[in-house]
Structure 1
Amino acid sequence: MKHLFTLLLLIPLLSFSQESFEKQLDSISTSEEATAFLKENKPTHGKLFTFNKEKHKTRLANDLFKLSKGGKKVTRTDFKKTFYKVVDKADVDYFKFNIIVFDAAKTSNEDAISKRSKVLAQYESGYRFKDLAKHNSVGPTAKMGGDTGWIKAGEMSEAFDNEALKEDHNLSEIFSVDDLENKTYYLVIKTENRTPIEEITVLKFTEDIE
């Protein structure tokens, strides 16, 4: 009887705590507020995610993209309750390139530039760019035939962005980028022009169901 009485006292407290938490969650309207919320609550299962409409095709991502900014989705299991809150929603400019990367850090600037010139000559003589990338490039894009996938400003180096993201490069035009600071040299072909792609920033927070 004593334990039952204690349980009856706890139920309103748990309900109040959950309501208070949800009100706090509803008040979050920016990524900065979401970051502060996570820092203050220090949840084991709390995190900010960015979903890109071209890169993320899961059912969850599709459901979240249907929400407006400030929208919320809640999922439940027998033991956990997970909240997803869309704290930001915007179109972000993306580009696509094929690249061949020459790393001068392990050799020299002269060797990297010389190798790039030879590869460029091979391309101009009819070799396929993706084959040249697989055999001559370094880094993760090599096995993809040089394909960067959709990238935005800031994902590559500043030197790369300053040259490659300029509007005066036409599709399928090959050009060079010299990143002297990072001792990296590129051959680049733009494969997709500037394309706005919708992105959402989502606060995920999971709590145990008592």
Structure 2
Amino acid sequence: MLKNLLVTALLFSTTIVIAQKDFEKSLDSIQTLDDVTIFFKKNNTVKGKVIVFNEEKHKTRMAEDILNMGLGSKKYFKDAPQKTYYKVIEKNEIPYYRVSCVYIDGRKRSIKDVNIIRNQVIAKYQDGYRFTDLAKQFSMDNTAKQGGDLGWFTNGDLHPEFERQVIEGDYRKDDIFKIDIPDISAYYVVLITHDKRLIKESKVLKVTEPRK
């Protein structure tokens, strides 16, 4: 009886090892985002998703480890109760921009008042007032709470016209200027707070090994 139980246990553990190797092998075959889509169609019980790690936005030790991984490489973290793999599908250096702004709502202020306020903001800044204080005083949206800081952004994160004028304007750090978007009644004073940066990003497949 004991012998039979030992044989059964050995067969069971061998089956698990083979299944784990098959799962890892299927992950090794994934090279592109299209492969990820195909993988999930074939393995609809597997839980996973593609996530983006950004060296500026993600400061954890795990994020640092993943950003240092090579293209196509994978590692796993023993998240109880199941093993979770992270596989690097794409690695890029993306141009990012950082500005602070004062937003004036053209639906609540006349164009005359908009321009008076914006000229006042620019004049005060050039006289030595801190832009963060000016944003807290004059800005008419939630960014006022953080002194107008929009954080790091790249193409596709903000309103297209706002991005276009920042990106194509050939501005440098500490330049201050106006942006008008009449279609949405949005009027800005914008300060370039950082020069353009190439920031490392990795698109990573996070997938949990299915239970056996």
Same fold, judged at TM 0.5 (above) = yes
- Of all paired residues, the percent bearing the same amino acid is 38
**TM-score, normalised via structure 2 length:** 0.83
8 A Cα contact 2:40 2:46, kept in partner: no
Where in structure 2 are there 5+ consecutive unaligned residues?
none
1:129 equivalenced with 2:115 (yes/no): no
Q: For each residue in 1:116-170, what CA deviation from the matched residue of structure 2 results, as whole angstroms up to 9, or x when unmatched?
A: 3343343344432110111222344322211222211111111111111125223
8 A Cα contact 2:23 2:209, kept in partner: no
The AA in structure 1 aligned to 2:177 is F
1:162 equivalenced with 2:160 (yes/no): no
Q: CA deviation at 1:112?
A: 3.9
8 A Cα contact 2:46 2:210, kept in partner: no
Match of 1:194 among 193, 196, 201: 196
Q: Hey, what's the Cα distance between the residues in 2 that align with 1:138 and 1:206?
A: 44
Q: Hey, what's the Cα distance between the residues in 2 that align with 1:144 and 1:193?
A: 19
Q: CA deviation at 1:50?
A: 0.7
Distance 1:69 1:183, change over 3 A: same
The AA in structure 2 aligned to 1:136 is F
Q: Hey, what's the Cα distance between the residues in 2 that align with 1:24 and 1:18?
A: 10
User: What's the Cα RMSD here?
Assistant: 2.8
More displaced 10-residue stretch of structure 1: 39-48 or 169-178 = 39-48
The AA in structure 2 aligned to 1:177 is I
Q: CA deviation at 1:20?
A: 2.3
The AA in structure 2 aligned to 1:101 is Y
SS in 1 for 2:97: strand
1:30 equivalenced with 2:21 (yes/no): no
Match of 1:151 among 141, 150, 153: 153
SS in 2 for 1:28: coil
Q: Hey, what's the Cα distance between the residues in 2 that align with 1:43 and 1:133?
A: 49
Question: 1:61 — aligned with what?
Answer: 63
**TM-score, normalised via structure 1 length:** 0.84
How many residues are aligned here? 209
Q: CA deviation at 1:9?
A: 5.7
SS in 1 for 2:158: coil
1:86 equivalenced with 2:105 (yes/no): no
Q: CA deviation at 1:204?
A: 0.7
SS in 2 for 1:80: coil
8 A Cα contact 1:109 1:183, kept in partner: no
Question: 2:176 — aligned with what?
Answer: 174
The AA in structure 1 aligned to 2:192 is K
Q: Hey, what's the Cα distance between the residues in 1 that align with 2:84 and 2:182?
A: 46
Q: CA deviation at 1:16?
A: 3.5
Match of 2:54 among 52, 55, 63: 52
More displaced 10-residue stretch of structure 1: 184-193 or 41-50 = 41-50
8 A Cα contact 1:79 1:209, kept in partner: no
The AA in structure 2 aligned to 1:88 is E
Q: CA deviation at 1:34?
A: 2.2
Q: CA deviation at 1:49?
A: 1.2
